Structure 1
Amino acid sequence: MAETRRIAHLDMDAFYASVELLRYPELRGQAVVIGGGARHQPVLLPDGTRQFSRLRDYVGRGVVTTSTYEARALGVFSAMGTMKAAALAPDAVLLPTDFDSYRRLSRLFKAAVAEIAPHIEDRGIDEIYIDLSEHPEETRALALRIKQAVRDATGLSCSIGVAPNKLLAKICSELDKPDGVTIVSYEDIPSRVWPLAVRKVNGIGPKADAKLAALGITTVGQVAAADEALLQEHFGLNYASWLKRVAHGQDERAVVTSHEPKSISRETTFERDLHAKHDRVALSEIFTRLCQRLGEDLARKRYVGRTVGIKLRYSDFSRATRDVTLPLPTADAAAIRRAAGECLRRVPLDQRLRLLGVKISALSSMDDPGLDLSATPRPRQGELFADL
């Protein structure tokens, strides 16, 4: 199989945690968990040292945003309940999230990469794909130069995998973390990819992993060797065919250098369950703040949207969503707040709430010459702070 492409996947190492270690270098080498609230901000003591919150003192319903590699060695990973994490690593330091800083460092590392290799697909705050196919420089030297540029711009390390396609590049960027460079060819698949657990393949989730395990298939190599009829029997024709292709390292997806989002959202999980009646003031403030931040996101990304929606998760983990389509697109926080309030009046509010979210979709670019925002209604400012 001809290897005409060189696709890199760059993944920042424990990104949020690493940003915090820039701020608090005395925590290097320690188990640190990111995901606390404002009350977990470190306290500066009279002697100039800092006093940090510990995971053992946490009480609430939050989840871990990320953790250092030392905390991961103790079993603490992202999306884990913080109370569960406290049982595993009670002495770990707990820090609040600071998304403004994470976004700032994200912009810096992406700009540094673009100076060297501009064909970038943005995959989130801490990872990108880079098409290096037309770059004249030798692969390893180029990867090392990109890594150094990221470090010079941010003070942070990253890991890079380079392969003939996006599937393999993403897999191999994880093989030598942290601060690694891994280059994989098709010939390397049997030795580097087939021994890996099937869950290492992006697109094989927990349910598929469990079904494969029940068939005695736990590695990528076993998927490659599996009888296709057996896979079709348990997964259907399309997914079975996809499993066989990815197990052999086949992926024709292009690096997409421009991406239009389908929606933009903001949501928050409460430290404790809140009730619409008894916690009306707190919920109204949170609701308004989410709409304000959503408006800021739209303005920064230069989008307007027509469909505003809400998402609720109740204390029993059931969910409710509602949306409304506006006559004209908007990026105005007050208009979003008013539309989201209309949605909120259409859902049951007799249970306590765990999560509240606001979303806007049917997006258009503010720079679209055919877009006319002059007639967009502007609600009175007082409506922005209306009660739930």
Structure 2
Amino acid sequence: MRRQATVLHLDLDAFFAAVEQRDKPSLRGKPVVVGGLGARGVVSTASYEAREYGVRSAMRTAEARARCPHAAYLSGRFDAYRAASRVVMGRLREISPLVEPLSLDEAFVDLAAGETTRDLDLERIRLLAEQVRGDVAERTGGLTASVGIASSKFLAKIASELAKPDGVHVVTPGTELEVLAPLSVRAIPGVGPVTAERLRRLGVHTVADLRGLDLPDLTSLLGSAYGTSLHALARGEDHRAVVAERETKSLSVEDTFETDITDRRILADVATMMSRRVSERLRGNGMSGRTVTLKIRHHDFETHTRSATLAGPTDDARVIARTATGLLAEIDTSSGIRLLGVGMSGMADWVQDDLFAPDDDDPADDAPADDHADPREAAGADDRPPSGATTAAGVDAAAGTGGSTPRTLRARPRWSPGADVVHAEHGPGWVWGSGIGRVTVRFETRHTGPGPVRTFDADDPSLRPGTVEP
């Protein structure tokens, strides 16, 4: 623990969705959901407009559609997210050499390690945080960030949550217990519905209530490791240092669910989504890995990992996902899973592509075109696609309810909703919807106003994938 508030935590607000709103003028101020769009898809990020309807990350996309049917449902553009993340992390490294990225949109900064920040008082630290937020917005074209500053990583992250969205919160040294006291126990990392219910039965609702429990009581209730950790965090005790990235020995993505999940299909979808994120991080670092690890934490906090080592290194999301879901199939999920993670180790800087080329029968290659959703309602468009165009909203009716699509349609190019495209005549735009051999594009960029909508054959030679704008 430090005597000064020198740990900064920055968290970009609704990052994936915010990047989409920035780059797509017609979606600004509208509900946007990024994630898997198929019948078994899972939400990755929801804009604040979508959250007002109860849409949350890790929620099944089908449920999200039921809650907010007029949202724009997009498949995600990791090149754009990585580009924005590099800008933000670069700005943080101007402050201090000790920057610990947690993900594309989140990082800790050790202000005590920076030559110009180590001796700042609280007021100047607050001004620095505001300057960083302003620079992030300017350099990224309008993305907002929430910043928390405190004497430890735990308190800094709590502070950034209190600052959301688009704000700054500084926890003055000596006031940590006062800040934590009124918060729900759910504010402490790892405390989900099951633990919260156990604590509620003991009359514990807030962190102040939790602080009243003795260590033996907590370890008896939650186990030695977790009970000890919770006992310390309730008292604001966190001695972890900010650690800059060193040689990468492994990469992983994990998430704690708001409610324990027993449905194996949902867990498989989440594992697949995480595998894609691991793949993106591998490729972003120019690396590959041989060992896939699945981490699961049961409802009672018992944690297990299972691993499988491949014949050679890969960065292919499909290979990672197949391996991770295969490991998941060996696990009993009937009692509920509260945390799931997918990781990669055994790093290399090369890929043995011939070992991992997808089979002709790979399910990912045979995915029906009706996986694509039509975000036109959220786009607020009064102009409808030309007569005869079939967007994703009408694919199920056209293709039948059996869930299969003729091979002739599957063989055509598929365009994911939200993906960048360029047309030889109309210029840059993004996929608004697709299906039944057609693709509808809205022609606009972050520097234009809302643009017109046009529909083309999916194999139109004038239409090609676009590139991410710097």
Residue matched to 1:283: none
Residue matched to 2:240: 253
Q: Unaligned 5+ residue runs, structure 1?
A: 38-58, 266-272, 274-286, 312-320, 349-358, 367-372
Q: Tell me whether 1:148 sits opposite 2:127 in the alignment.
A: no
**In structure 2, C-alpha distance between the alignment counterparts of 1:83 and 1:291, rounded to whole Å:** 21
CA contact under 8 A between 1:13 and 1:179: conserved in structure 2? Answer: yes
**In structure 1, C-alpha distance between the alignment counterparts of 2:35 and 2:314, rounded to whole Å:** 29
Residue matched to 2:287: 303
**In structure 2, C-alpha distance between the alignment counterparts of 1:35 and 1:84, rounded to whole Å:** 13
Q: Tell me whether 1:205 sits opposite 2:192 in the alignment.
A: yes
Corresponding residue SS for 1:65: strand
- The alpha-carbon deviation at position 176 of structure 1 amounts to 2.1
CA contact under 8 A between 1:220 and 1:247: conserved in structure 2? Answer: yes
1:61-140 correspondence to structure 2 within 5 Å: 61-134=40-113, 135=117, 136-137=119-120, 138-140=124-126
CA contact under 8 A between 1:305 and 1:360: conserved in structure 2? Answer: no
1:1-20 correspondence to structure 2 within 5 Å: 3-4=3-4, 6-20=6-20
CA contact under 8 A between 2:78 and 2:280: conserved in structure 1? Answer: no
Q: Deviations over 1:40-91 (max 9, x none)?
A: xxxxxxxxxxxxxxxxxxx722122211212212211111112222222233
1:150-169 correspondence to structure 2 within 5 Å: 150-154=136-140, 155-169=142-156
**In structure 2, C-alpha distance between the alignment counterparts of 1:220 and 1:293, rounded to whole Å:** 33
Higher deviation after alignment, 182-191 or 171-180:
182-191
- The alpha-carbon deviation at position 3 of structure 1 amounts to 0.7
- The alpha-carbon deviation at position 174 of structure 1 amounts to 0.6
Residue matched to 1:262: 250
**In structure 2, C-alpha distance between the alignment counterparts of 1:198 and 1:378, rounded to whole Å:** 47
Corresponding residue SS for 2:244: coil
Q: Amino acid of the residue matched to residue 106 of structure 1? A: S
Corresponding residue SS for 2:132: helix
1:39-50 correspondence to structure 2 within 5 Å: none
Residue matched to 2:35: 35
CA contact under 8 A between 2:287 and 2:347: conserved in structure 1? Answer: yes
CA contact under 8 A between 1:113 and 1:149: conserved in structure 2? Answer: no
CA contact under 8 A between 1:306 and 1:361: conserved in structure 2? Answer: yes
CA 1:90 to 1:302, structure 2 compared with 1: closer, same or farther past 3 Å? closer
Corresponding residue SS for 1:146: helix
**In structure 1, C-alpha distance between the alignment counterparts of 2:307 and 2:235, rounded to whole Å:** 43
- The alpha-carbon deviation at position 242 of structure 1 amounts to 1.9
Residue matched to 2:206: 219
- The alpha-carbon deviation at position 216 of structure 1 amounts to 1.8
Q: Deviations over 1:85-119 (max 9, x none)?
A: 22222333333322221121111111122123331
- The alpha-carbon deviation at position 35 of structure 1 amounts to 2.6
**In structure 1, C-alpha distance between the alignment counterparts of 2:6 and 2:309, rounded to whole Å:** 44
CA 1:291 to 1:229, structure 2 compared with 1: closer, same or farther past 3 Å? closer
Q: Amino acid of the residue matched to residue 193 of structure 2? A: P
Identity of aligned residues (%): 36
Which of 294, 308, 328 is the equivalent residue of 1:323?
A: 308
**In structure 2, C-alpha distance between the alignment counterparts of 1:3 and 1:143, rounded to whole Å:** 19
CA 1:232 to 1:304, structure 2 compared with 1: closer, same or farther past 3 Å? closer
- The alpha-carbon deviation at position 365 of structure 1 amounts to 5.0
**In structure 2, C-alpha distance between the alignment counterparts of 1:62 and 1:307, rounded to whole Å:** 25
Residue matched to 2:438: none
Q: Amino acid of the residue matched to residue 188 of structure 2? A: V
CA 1:141 to 1:294, structure 2 compared with 1: closer, same or farther past 3 Å? closer
CA contact under 8 A between 1:11 and 1:126: conserved in structure 2? Answer: yes
Q: Unaligned 5+ residue runs, structure 2?
A: 254-264, 266-271, 296-305, 331-341, 363-470
**In structure 1, C-alpha distance between the alignment counterparts of 2:234 and 2:228, rounded to whole Å:** 10
Q: Amino acid of the residue matched to residue 287 of structure 2? A: Y
Corresponding residue SS for 2:174: helix
**In structure 1, C-alpha distance between the alignment counterparts of 2:6 and 2:276, rounded to whole Å:** 42
Which of 364, 374, 377 is the equivalent residue of 2:347?
A: 364
- The alpha-carbon deviation at position 11 of structure 1 amounts to 0.3
CA contact under 8 A between 2:251 and 2:282: conserved in structure 1? Answer: no
The TM-score, its normalising length taken from structure 1, stands at: 0.69
Corresponding residue SS for 1:76: coil
**In structure 2, C-alpha distance between the alignment counterparts of 1:210 and 1:144, rounded to whole Å:** 38
Aligned length: 316
**In structure 2, C-alpha distance between the alignment counterparts of 1:308 and 1:95, rounded to whole Å:** 28
- The alpha-carbon deviation at position 158 of structure 1 amounts to 0.1
CA contact under 8 A between 2:5 and 2:173: conserved in structure 1? Answer: no
CA 1:35 to 1:223, structure 2 compared with 1: closer, same or farther past 3 Å? same
CA 1:310 to 1:238, structure 2 compared with 1: closer, same or farther past 3 Å? closer
**In structure 2, C-alpha distance between the alignment counterparts of 1:30 and 1:109, rounded to whole Å:** 24
CA contact under 8 A between 2:33 and 2:46: conserved in structure 1? Answer: yes
**In structure 1, C-alpha distance between the alignment counterparts of 2:219 and 2:234, rounded to whole Å:** 15
CA RMSD of aligned residues (A): 4.0
Corresponding residue SS for 2:108: strand
CA 1:360 to 1:156, structure 2 compared with 1: closer, same or farther past 3 Å? closer
CA 1:377 to 1:60, structure 2 compared with 1: closer, same or farther past 3 Å? closer
**In structure 2, C-alpha distance between the alignment counterparts of 1:122 and 1:165, rounded to whole Å:** 16
Q: Amino acid of the residue matched to residue 250 of structure 2? A: K
Greater percentage in helix: 1
Q: Deviations over 1:214-271 (max 9, x none)?
A: 2221111111122333323212343322222111111000001025242469xxxxxx
Q: Amino acid of the residue matched to residue 142 of structure 1? A: L
The TM-score, its normalising length taken from structure 2, stands at: 0.58
**In structure 1, C-alpha distance between the alignment counterparts of 2:308 and 2:280, rounded to whole Å:** 20
Q: Amino acid of the residue matched to residue 301 of structure 1? A: N
- The alpha-carbon deviation at position 184 of structure 1 amounts to 0.4
